[in-house]
Amino acid sequence: MKGIITILFAFLVIGSNAQNKLGPIGQWRAHFDNHSIEHIVKGGDYVYAASPYQIISIDSKKNNYWIDKTNGLSDININHLAWDEIQQQLVIVYTNSNIDILKGDQIFNVNALQLTNLYPDKKINTIRIYKQWAILATNFGIVIIDLIKHEVKDNWFPNNNQQPIATLDVLIANDSVYATTSNGLWASAFNANTLQPNQWNRLTGYDRYTLKKLTQYNGNIYVYNNHSFFQLPQTNPFLQFTNATINHVDTSATNLYIGIQYPNQKGALLQLNKDKSASILIDSSLLGVPKQSVVENNNFWVADSVKGLLLKNNTAQWMPLGGPNARIQGMEAMSENELIAPYGALTKGFAKFNESGWTSYQQLGTVQLPNLNASTINNKEHSYWFTTNSSIFYISNDNKAENILPNNLTGAYKQILTDPNNSIWAIQDQQGLVQQANNRWNSIPLPNSYQKNGLNQFIVNEKGQAWLIAPNNQGLYVYQNKLVYPNEIWKQFTTQASNGNLPSTNVKSLCKDLSGSIWVGTDNGIGIYNCGDIATEPCNAYLPIVNNNGFNGYLFQKETVNCISVDGANRKWVGTHNGAWLLSADGTEIIEHFTKLNSPLPNDTVVQILIQPNTGEVFINTVNQMVSYRGTATQGKVTQSTIQIFPNPISTHFNGQIAMRGLIENALVKITDLNGKLLYQTTALGGQALWNGRNYDGQKVATGIYLVFVRDISGNEKSVGKIVIADSY
């Protein structure tokens, strides 16, 4: 089977900030880290490098262009790249045996191998391009792909019993086919581009070496394993490494290059000399884990799986490839202008994303940043706050860093938040809460009867209440101070109908919506709280009932709700182990459901969702990587000013949604022609309204100028805008 996807040409020709360009409503963009580059090939005028999730094409001026699942690729987890010089196309192989072929602005998907049930293990170990074919060595044999028809042509078994066999590599050279397999090294004549059955010969003398890969250079065939290098037909290695392993072997027009791996993520790139010795070209002071190399015009490109992409000529530089420097594993925070993302336990520092793109911070001045767990932004003073295992880390608006110890108690600091009054709160494991107000830190311990080990997540509302996920399946802890109500108190909520009514005591997530309701996600669905003074009034969760395929049930019953976020229209974005969901404000209607099968999500396990209030962009972080989706709702304005219309002017060929944002909350929006004829009317989702460029009859409007009228819920006209539709745009 095969399919064809046409890539929007703009994605392939925009400059190095293209990855950060905000697109129209409903469009996705990737926020993948590219610190691990495992594949690189030269094709046409480009160098193509690949991380597991993304291909970066680099032109002669060192401009980057990104190709991934958000703009055309059919899959993630890239396993091999190969360039077809004759057809001028890039062959992309994935770990699940799916294949894409990128030619110009089209992607041809060849998924026959992925879908077949004939073989239990279909892993593709290597790919070679020979004439019009891609030759694949797989865990059951050799598969031939026709690169003109973009379909499977044939498959061979490198033995004489026609039985599947794990094939590690394949090479066609000197009118012969060579294959390294789990049963040794085999060869067969290759006449008239065909193979005859029972014509394979097992090459003896190599059994004790467990040979893996093949290459050819200067008319010679070479074969190697982890430590030894052979030239056929010699059965003794001419080059051996006792303190290193061979990662890859690549050739250029003039040389053969060997990437080797020392212990402790130290690597090197070697050149094979005429006397069959090897000399070091790039040493371990630069390389970590070299995976593949390309050499052209004295430019050495090396794909490194722990450091990225190295370009060495007269100097050496690690190429900037966009995205954060590592996978985001800490708890992110969003303001009106930027997102900050701590790297978490495995990488020190944090990343920041705004309209200029991603910037990573491992140090500020002379201060080395620690591992950061969670983050918050104080919008009033525009400062950043983070938690570490032993302290709270503060960065002022002039980039001065300070390590803060709120107390001398034992316990790692986990989540950190800014409350509606711009006070800073943090949760301290084994203890309770700490709060900063009036430049003083106060500790708020849990009652002695509460379990304390495992505290890690909470929220704070306008009523002076802090809602904590109780550890070890203990439900919720709620702390109420005297900010609004007269009584300071701690309370624990469970599944008992008169004491919390949670759907489960295994609470996973918390969220406060625009109406002040507290949404609680568990491993058995969602409960919603609307509580007053918890010291004097009962407080029990409402469990929404929804209709699913004709049956009524509790919202997300038997699903684990990892995270909940609220957009500008008070709708709920929910992350589960089964993708990302957009629900109506009351949770009774499913508006969207994104999974890795119907969207660019890299994984169905969603761990955090954040929403940019001004643009409505929804950032969805999974256990693998992060992507974002241009949503339909933004935060409503308190007072109406100029309407922002995007895109505008608009081509008559445009078929997407026209967004009008910067509106007062839930505004009434009318669109008329210049004569005042009403063409369309809608209500804003928070601060954004959408129009598809059609009238009430569903017909596209003609070229011309159209007026946008905005009114508040009282019917008072607030603003007027213009939309231009023309053939020339």
The tokens describing 54, both together, are 């993304």
Q: Are 295 and 318 in contact (CB under 8 A)?
A: no
Query: What is the Cβ-side half-sphere exposure of residue 462, based on CA atoms within 13 angstroms?
Result: 7
The values of phi and psi at residue 210, to 5°, are 50, 65
Domain range summary for the chain, segments of one domain joined by +? 1-22+33-130+144-155, 326-420, 644-726
Q: Which of 385, 295, 256, 298 is CA-nearest to residue 333?
A: 385
Q: What is the pLDDT of residue 305?
A: 97
User: What average pLDDT does the structure give for the chain?
Assistant: 93
Tell me what the mean pLDDT of segment 508-533 comes to: 97
Q: Angle at CA 322, nearest 5°, toward 62 and 358?
A: 135
**Alpha-carbon distances, residue 371 vs 343, 375, 386, 610 (angstroms):** 7, 12, 10, 21
pLDDT exceeds 70 at position 650: yes
Q: Which of 228, 227, 229 is CA-nearest to residue 217?
A: 229
Q: What is the DSSP string of 208-244?
A: GG---EEEEETTEEEEE-SSEEEETT--S-SEE-SS-
Looking at the structure, give the CATH architecture of the domain made up of residues 644-726. Answer: Sandwich (2.60)
pTM comes to: 0.92
CA-based end-to-end distance of the chain: 37
What is the C-alpha separation between 408 and 459, in angstroms, rounded?
24
pLDDT exceeds 80 at position 716: no
Band the pLDDT of 718: cuts 50, 70, 90: confident
The SS3 assignment for 318 reads strand
What number of helices (H) and strands (E) belong to the chain?
A: 2, 68
What is the C-alpha separation between 100 and 602, in angstroms, rounded?
17
Q: What is the pLDDT of residue 712?
A: 81
Q: What is the pLDDT of residue 18?
A: 45
Q: What is the pLDDT of residue 207?
A: 87
Q: What is the pLDDT of residue 509?
A: 98
CA dihedral 31, 37, 42, 46 (to 10 degrees): 20
Residue 508, amino acid: K
pLDDT exceeds 70 at position 12: no
Q: Are 601 and 627 in contact (CB under 8 A)?
A: yes
DSSP symbol at 643: P
Min mean pLDDT across 12-21, 100-109, 379-388, 446-455 is at: 12-21
Q: What is the pLDDT of residue 13?
A: 32
Q: What is the DSSP string of 530-563?
A: --S-TTTS----B--EEEETTEEEETTTT--EEE
CATH T-level assignment (fold) for domain 1-22+33-130+144-155: Thrombin, subunit H (2.40.10)
- In DSSP terms, 621 is beta-bridged to 608, 626
Give the β-pairing of 392-395 and 432-437.
Answer: unpaired
The SS3 assignment for 719 reads strand
What is the C-alpha separation between 540 and 358, in angstroms, rounded?
43
Q: What pLDDT digit, counting tens, does each position of 394-430 carry? A: 999 999 999 999 999 999 999 999 998 889 999 999 9
Q: Which of 250, 239, 259 is CA-nearest to residue 216?
A: 250
Tell me what the mean pLDDT of segment 137-157 comes to: 96
What is the C-alpha separation between 387 and 412, in angstroms, rounded?
8
Q: Are 83 and 90 in contact (CB under 8 A)?
A: yes
What is the C-alpha separation between 282 and 295, in angstroms, rounded?
12
pLDDT exceeds 70 at position 197: no
Q: Which of 696, 35, 702, 700 is CA-nearest to residue 358?
A: 35
The SS3 assignment for 715 reads coil
Tell me what the mean pLDDT of segment 113-117 comes to: 95
pLDDT exceeds 90 at position 253: no
Q: Which of 395, 432, 396, 400 is CA-nearest to residue 413?
A: 432
What is the C-alpha separation between 192 and 75, in angstroms, rounded?
35
Q: What pLDDT digit, counting tens, does each position of 428-469 carry? A: 999 999 999 888 999 999 999 999 999 999 999 999 999 999
Percent of the chain predicted with pLDDT > 70: 96
- In DSSP terms, 707 is beta-bridged to 672, 722
Q: How many CB atoms lie within 10 A of CB 71?
A: 22
- In DSSP terms, 404 is beta-bridged to 392
